[in-house]
Structures are given as structure tokens and as C-alpha cells.
């Protein structure tokens, strides 16, 4: 009887505010994702996001101080992770890198991710302050995570200790982004596997290089 009374009491009070809050949060991110693909970052406004999400603008500001903050969280939601998350370290560098970069190309094949990233990339060319913010919150942490995994591989004897790790990261990520940006070829797991194997051959310690 007591449980029934509690349930009836909740019904009289209306929907659970936590669920309502979660729905609003999700609606805002969905609206920002759609609008980024439609109008780009420069023309994106908090008013437009609020209208598309059917929430008040003050609801957005409860969670995000600016549209840039909203869009950063759009990226996080689309990728399912946080910038700078450590890479897997199973003791097999090639397998770990293939796992990570296969996931990267899978994300690029998601239409919402593709549209949002292309809008993001366009704005980076036109807004130095925005470019620095993206670099600080997204690019640098992710780059450092890859460098950390390569440092572990150096310690394990899988990578030459004289390797410029910053350059090595670019050797892995540059071709993927080039192919995606210019649409020069398909982004497949097979492409990623061949890329990782090719770069790692160049990074092996000299005494392990094929003669």
C-alpha cells in the first residue's frame, strides 16, 4: 500500500525532473549536430539551437557557457569518448593502433560526424581563436594520448628511441585526415591496417629494420 501511495504521489507531481532534464540535454546536442551540418559553425546561434531543441535558451546556458562548448560536447557525444583518453596498451602496438584508427574511420563514416567535422574544419580556417580552442581541448590531448602510447612502445623496444614522436603521430593521423578531407579514397579498416604496418616498419629500432 505504501509503494502504491508513493507511485500515485509521483504521478500527481508529474514526470521525473531528472528524465526531463536528460531529454532536454539530448535534444540540445541533437539540435546542435543537425544545425552544424546545415548552416556551419559561424552561423550557428544559441537561439537557433534552442528553437530546434524546443527548449528555452536559459536551459542551454545552464549546461554550456557558449556555442563552442555545445559543439565540443557534440563531438564527445558522437565519438563516445573524451579527448585525451588513453590508448589501449595490450603489449601489441600494431594491434592497439589499428583498434584506435579503425574506430576513427568508422566515426568519419557516420553522416552526422562527417557533416559536423567538415563544418568544424571550415571554421578552423576562418577563426584563429576558435582554432586555438579546438586545438587546446581536442587535438592536443588526442595527440598526446598517441604520443604516450608510442613512448610505451619505445620503452618496450618496439619503436626506435630516436624517433620524433610528434612527427610519428602525424605519420599515422595525417594520411587518414587527408583521405577523409579530400575524399581521395575509401576509409576502410584495410586501409588503416596497411597504414599502421607501413609506418611501424619505418619506426622500428634500427637493429630490427629489414635489410
Q: Mean of the pLDDT values across residues 107-129?
A: 81
Say whether pLDDT at 171 is over 90.
Answer: yes
Tell the CATH superfamily of the 81-208 domain: Tetracycline Repressor, domain 2 (1.10.357.10)
Grid-cell match 604520443, residue found: 147
Radius of gyration over alpha carbons of the chain, in Å? 22
CA 135 → CA 32, 36, 140, distances in Å?
A: 20, 19, 6
% pLDDT > 70, the chain: 89
Contact between residue 60 and residue 30 where contact means Cβ atoms under 8 Å apart: no
Q: Where in the chain is the domain with CATH 1.10.10.60?
A: 2-66
CATH superfamily of 2-66: Homeodomain-like (1.10.10.60)
The vertex-108 CA angle with 105 and 110, nearest 5°, equals: 120
Residues ≥6 apart with Cβ < 8 Å to 81: none
Name the segment(s) of the chain with CATH classification 1.10.357.10.
Answer: 81-208
CA distances 146 to 84, 93, 139, 153, 204, Å, are 9, 11, 11, 11, 16
Distance between CA atoms of residues 104 and 155, nearest Å: 26
Q: Where are the beta strands (DSSP E) in the chain?
A: none
Q: Tell me the range of 41-50, 110-119, 149-158 where mean pLDDT is highest.
A: 149-158
Residue 211 has pLDDT above 70, yes or no: no
pLDDT band of residue 13 (cuts 50, 70, 90) is low
This prediction's pTM: 0.75
Which H or E run contains 191? Answer: helix 189-203
Mean pLDDT of the chain: 86
Give 210's pLDDT tier (boundaries 50, 70, 90).
Answer: low
The span from the CA of 41 to the CA of 74, in Å, is 12
Phi-psi region of 86 (alpha: psi -120 to 50; beta: other; left: phi over 0): beta
Amino acid at each position: 500500500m505504501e509503494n502504491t501511495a508513493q507511485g500515485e504521489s509521483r504521478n500527481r507531481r508529474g514526470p521525473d525532473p531528472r528524465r526531463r532534464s536528460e531529454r532536454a540535454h539530448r535534444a540540445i546536442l541533437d539540435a546542435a549536430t543537425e544545425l552544424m551540418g546545415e548552416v556551419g559553425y559561424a552561423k550557428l546561434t544559441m537561439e537557433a539551437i534552442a528553437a530546434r531543441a524546443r527548449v528555452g535558451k536559459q536551459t542551454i546556458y545552464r549546461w554550456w557557457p557558449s556555442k563552442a562548448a555545445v559543439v565540443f560536447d557534440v563531438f564527445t557525444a558522437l565519438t563516445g569518448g573524451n579527448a585525451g583518453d588513453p590508448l589501449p596498451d595490450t603489449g601489441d602496438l600494431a594491434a592497439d593502433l589499428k583498434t584506435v584508427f579503425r574506430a576513427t574511420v568508422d566515426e568519419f563514416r557516420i553522416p552526422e560526424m562527417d557533416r559536423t567535422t567538415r563544418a568544424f574544419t571550415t571554421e578552423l580556417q576562418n577563426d584563429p581563436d576558435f582554432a586555438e580552442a579546438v586545438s587546446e581541448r581536442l587535438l592536443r590531448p588526442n595527440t598526446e594520448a598517441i604520443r604516450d602510447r608510442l613512448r610505451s612502445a619505445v620503452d618496450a623496444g618496439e619503436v626506435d628511441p630516436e624517433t620524433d614522436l610528434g612527427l610519428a603521430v602525424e605519420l599515422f593521423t595525417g594520411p587518414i585526415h587527408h583521405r577523409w578531407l579530400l575524399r581521395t579514397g575509401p576509409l576502410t579498416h584495410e586501409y588503416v591496417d596497411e597504414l599502421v604496418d607501413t609506418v611501424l616498419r619505418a619506426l622500428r629500432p634500427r637493429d630490427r629494420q629489414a635489410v
